[in-house]
Amino acid sequence: MLYFDHNATSPLSPAAREAWLEASERFVGNPSSPHRLGARAEKALADAREELAGFLGCGALDIVWTSGATESANLVMHHFAKALVGDAEVWVSAIEHPCVLETARLHFGKRLKMLPVTSGGVLDLDALRERLVEHRPGLIAVMAANNETGVLQPWREVRELCAEHDAPFFCDAAQWVGKLPSAGLGECDFVSGCAHKFGGPTGVGFLKCPSKGVVRAHLAGGPQEEGRRAGTENVAGVLSMMAALAEREAALAGDTIIEREAWRNAFAASLGDARILGAGEGRLWNTVSALLPGDCRARWVVKLDKAGFAVSTGSACASGKEAPSHVLKAMGVADEETDRVVRFSSGWETTADDWQALSKSVAEVAAEFARD
């Protein structure tokens, strides 16, 4: 089967698998233990911290190892729920991933305010600027790239606005890291990422945040991660994640993205009159979110699955929900149209031939729908 659901999760890369197996054998000690095996594991984590900090452009002590982007978002929102006083508001973009949106809703209720996006799915910077003239929020959260549409968000501009108005900024970079260069993300106050989006293992991720003594821990227990996240660190998982990320960052140093964007664009063009969400905006090189003919996207997924292609209807973390996608709704897509949106997301292993085979199969399924 050809896999086109990488925005949900990517298969473990060979480099990550090798690193995980090696680390599982070499680093058997608890990083908090006082003996040499513990010290060896702690040193491995410290080296990985330095490597990730180098990619992001921040200090090594700004890195906290977590179980993934969802835990990282919970840590950020828990911290601000404890730190903010009075009626301070939290502003998040209307297209945030559920791990940010629902956690913010849980902690802040009516103090949570949505930031609008354009019909192309990009944060409305003018609206944000206007709000900042009159109000200073306790936190602003804007993702780096949207998981459903692949549309890139102006996180650099948001970071500058936040710095100008002295507002903390949290950027969920789960879909950016490993697909685009990580350089500069470390300048954001808080940044989250997770390994399984770019070929690392599930159950491991990171949060870039202020150093020791500033962030209030979400998990109570031991003093690991400078008191910001209790629990024994996943040494093998961290090293596996960093092996995958190092491989991706090296690939990004070349011109491979231009070629991969061309494959994506050729596929999108093959869809004919189908509406491409975020068309005309900057998008991840791997993502096409299309409003296809027919009456139900689930039928598209089933038919393509039978044809040998794994595709998605949108966010895996929101699957099973009957309500229309909040992302599409924020973009102004009509409720009756959201049930026709299918997402295709490739990976680093995807070839031009794979995209062409998918294009052929989509055309065949469309012809079936036309005959029904």
Identify the active-site residue in 99, 188, 209, 317: 317
Is the Cβ–Cβ distance between 124 and 92 less than 8 Å? Answer: no
| The two structure tokens encoding residue 15 | 């480099």
Q: How far apart are CA 192 and CA 66, in angstroms?
A: 9
| Secondary structure of the chain in HEC code, one letter for each residue | CEECECCCCCCCCHHHHHHHHHHHHHCCCCCCCCCHHHHHHHHHHHHHHHHHHHHHCCCHHHEEEECCHHHHHHHHHHHHHHHCCCCCCEEEECCCCHHHHHHHHHHHHHHEEEECECCCCCECHHHHHHHHHHCCCCEEECCCECCCCCEECCHHHHHHHHHHCCCCEEEECCCCECCECCCCHHHCCEEEEEHHHCCCCCCCEEEECCCCCCCCCCCCCCCCHHHCCCCCCCHHHHHHHHHHHHHHHHHHCCCHHHHHHHHHHHHHHHCCCCEECCCCCCECCCEEEEECCCCCHHHHHHHHHHCCEECECCCHHHCCCCCCCHHHHHCCCCHHHHCCEEEEECCCCCCHHHHHHHHHHHHHHHHHHHHC
Active site residue 162: no
The angle at the Cα of 348, spanning 343 to 352, to the nearest 5 degrees, equals 75
Q: Which residues are catalytic?
A: 317
